Chain A
């Protein structure tokens, strides 16, 4: 079996090289047969990597402990789900997953476009297969998943394996890596389309439309992956938070930010023919940030809680990044004339301008996060001191950035193209603005003094109202015309222009998440050593320890505290935080006790036993509004899905030179 897996990977490597060369050569020499064979090569690569992955998954499921990989990342007593998830539990397997996902994306892209865009699809295949060759190089020669144990020249099976890291044995964690990888890998397709269009100097915007959809798909998965990661951190790591600006977390955020910037600025290109260079740069940057993210996650170059195996793999990534970036920059410079902008900026208060600032601020935040993440490496290179920046540094920068973005989320979509009249400003923003000011006033009166929190809540209401008004206005006119009720009309409205109204829903999701983030400003935490009968007071809660137990299971030792929870004197029930120490790995995990409600979570972590081993150290947190982060995440994903549904009415993007200025409401009614 191990030979079948290795052979399939080796063949895939060769076929991928062939597919890349044949497609491009076929296009240049105008030989359709070569191009078709290149495309079929993509299918073959997919089939071969599928076979290799199948071999590995079979070995994991069947417990074939001759494989070093199976031994390291699974054991007999693991549930089937985690045996399957062990596919991406380690270095070799997750790189194989990367390859397989890329092959899948490539196949879908090649298949769905097989009769379209014949002039530039060969280049798309070429780019995708080049990336594929790089990852297959790693799969074959650097991190091979099919190594077996041998003793005295004979292949030997071991009795049982190490097991998947206990931290990863959690349902959200089982699907978090594939989601994130679907995002990371997915951004390769828009990049390939961009490069293809650049090489062939595509006229028109057909390719932009396709690219945008692909970007949206990748962005959807990336968002879902990040959200799952946050949920996992919150429920498993036991420190009461969900985002710690850890390098690996940052690595997943970087392409998400630049992808977000692209999804916005590409509208400028579709509608106004502006920002073409910028868009190409953004697509490419997103792709390379994905590669960088994989590199940071996999190489251990920056210290991280995810602390994966340190390995030789880093230099391959550095080489690939350097070559790829150099080639892309050369291509962009070479094709600058093709990327010439068709219109100009006219006013600071315009849709164009809001896009410009949206992009500026997103890119600035992307750069800031990148800077902070790589600071230990940069500082070591410059001064010789390895210096890391803490979460406070990120928060000081990212909180104002986030608030500014939130503000743009509200005003941007309602600014008119070219310039916005004072009249339209008043019409759109008067009432939401007044409502926001009233809310902030009320909060101050209620005793809230946290500056950023006040601003955030104000903006959240403002943005939510502007979106609501947009839905209401559109629905009302449809309802009046077709005699529908308002709810039915809202669905119809969304269906007619899924991009616009799906986008608004994504904005609502962002607003809800910001409400959750802002709750962090009012977070409470308390640590206390408790014995039976002792109590701990945090906020309005009184916790009384009723039982402290210890025990042993097959895989782990556990300590568990049972606490009776009272709020304002009335009893709410029991919470049971638990600490587990896994015997095989000597690694401990937390089973936190959470009482999740929409207004606030009570979060208890069993920190460990006190030094005299008599009392339990209980860490208690009250996290106000944190559930809105998860609710917002779901709304965001739902909104993105709606964006992907084709609109009922086919939209025409008239790229018009404006002949005269109309003073009326200038948003094109689509």
Chain B
């Protein structure tokens, strides 16, 4: 039976190491998907977590100040101020009215600091049977990804 003990011990060591590695980072590798309304309800819990928030870019809200871009995301009439501080240029599809996903953290002033923005055209269009499709874009831009 002794040899099986050795096998068991080795297996436990290997698996234990892996489980440790999987959970050791805690929450630092996790990104939470939230709606703007949910973000509002989270209260203090929202600070410091990595979040991904989606919504429409409010028309006329995009302001560029130096390297920062400020804009407002709207979803079901709830608004969220976003400051984009990332180094990648914003995707070409990012414009008034576009659907955007912001990746980042909420700071104490209630401004969402985004390090990454993905955007897709609002007029996402799919042809339905029996309809003539118009001149509408049908693909989305997923923007850049980074490792």
Contacts and interface: CB of A to CB of B under 8 A. Distances in A.
Contacts of A391: 147
B141 A239 contact: no
Nearest to B130: A150
B30 A387 contact: yes
A70 B74 CA distance: 36
A609 B30 contact: no
A71 B127 contact: yes
B3 interface: yes
A619 B88 contact: yes
Interface string B1-43: 0011011001100110110011011001111111000000000
A393 B28 CA distance: 9
A150 B32 CA distance: 44
Interface in B51-87: 52, 64, 69, 87
A617 B90 CA distance: 11
Contacts of B7: 345, 348, 353, 356
Query: Which secondary structure characterizes the binding site on chain A?
Result: mixed
Q: Interface residues of B: mostly helix, strand, loop or mixed?
A: loop
B93 A586 contact: yes
B129 A527 contact: no
Interface string A564-586: 00000000000000000100111
Contacts of A397: 18, 21-22
Interface in B94-135: 121, 126-127, 129-130, 132-133
Contact of B17 (A353, A385, A400): A400
A326 interface: no
B32 A608 contact: no
Interface residues of B, number: 48
Contacts of B142: 305, 307
Given A347-B3, A385-B32, A389-B30, A72 B141 contact: no
B21 to A, nearest CB: 5
Given A388-B52, A396-B21, A586-B92, A162 B33 contact: no
Nearest to A616: B89
B33 A388 contact: yes
A241 B147 contact: yes
A142 interface: no
Residue picked from B17, B121, B147, most chain A C-beta under 10 Å? B147
A357 interface: yes
Interface of B: 3-4, 6-7, 10-11, 14-15, 17-18, 21-22, 24-25, 28-34, 52, 64, 69, 87-93, 121, 126-127, 129-130, 132-133, 137-142, 144-147
Interface of A: 68, 71-72, 147, 149-151, 156, 158, 162, 165, 237-239, 241, 244, 246, 305, 307, 309, 345-348, 353, 356-357, 360-361, 364, 368, 371, 376, 385-393, 396-397, 400-401, 404, 527, 581, 584-588, 607-611, 617, 619
